[in-house]
Amino acid sequence: MLLAIDSGNTNAVFALFDGEELIAQWRCSSDSRRTADEYAVWLTQLMMLKGVTPADIDGCIISNVVPAATRELRRLITGYFDCIPLSVEEAVAGYNIPIRIARPEQVGADRLANAVAAHELYGGSLIVVDFGTATTFDMIDPDGGYSGGIIAPGINLSMDALYNAAARLPRIAVEKPEAVIGDDTVSAMQSGVFWGYIGLIEGLVSRIQQEKEIQHTVIGTGGLAPLFHETTDSIHHVNRDLTVIGLRLLYEAYRKASA
């Protein structure tokens, strides 16, 4: 079995694959102070509920955008699962993804994993919109090449900024309001956040397609993707597992090339 780890700025996702089948995934809040032992206690207990033991894991790949967490994640895998984890950076070198930007080393590991999975699953000219700590828009060419992107503040980050900067504004949940114009503070904030992000999505997708002079298939991923997909035609497909699927594909390609 393969353990794929997507360690982001807000959450870390641990996904378990048996061949191509995603059989389980669990998430915890990202904390660079968390030790390998703490990860192990939490993760092995969850695995046991699925009837899986550490001995069943014969491979691991890690996507990590939090450098401070790297050491303990690697210690987790080498110490408790008795295998050497593969990093996305290592796997991408073997996969030979064309990265058509000025500074290829600056592309986040999770964004490259998304590009691999989107190309494999959907093909053609693609935009991947990932609703994470940041909201990112990534362009994937028909040959699978990564050709640039956009980074905007994530929706939860924007809401936290409102709450922290304005003394009389409450903390709110992300949901679609009944009307665009709010009739109280909460509904006004929900409208600004929700419809503001709909405008962001539709506006940026439209501008990308005008600039590229082609039509793209747009894939949404991340926890909030289904909420926006229900409201706008600018997102054609939603795949919340896109990143971990990309990690599996990278791992398999690397193993095949190394055999």
Residues annotated as binding site for ATP? 6-13, 133
Return the structure tokens found at 206: 């439209």
The one catalytic residue among 110, 143, 160, 184? 110
Q: Are 246 and 114 in contact (CB under 8 A)?
A: yes
Identify whether 110 is a catalytic site residue: yes
What is the per-residue DSSP string for 109-162? HHHHHHHHHHHHHT-SSEEEEEESSEEEEEEE-TTS-EEEEEEEE-HHHHHHHH
Residues belonging to the binding site for K(+) are 130
Residues belonging to the binding site are 6-13, 108-111, 130, 133, 185
Residues belonging to the binding site for substrate are 108-111, 185
Angle among Cα 257, 15, 157 to the nearest 5 degrees reads 110
CA distances for 161 relative to 75, 156, 164, 167, 171, angstroms: 35, 9, 5, 11, 10
Return the structure tokens found at 207: 């501008």
Catalytic residues: 110
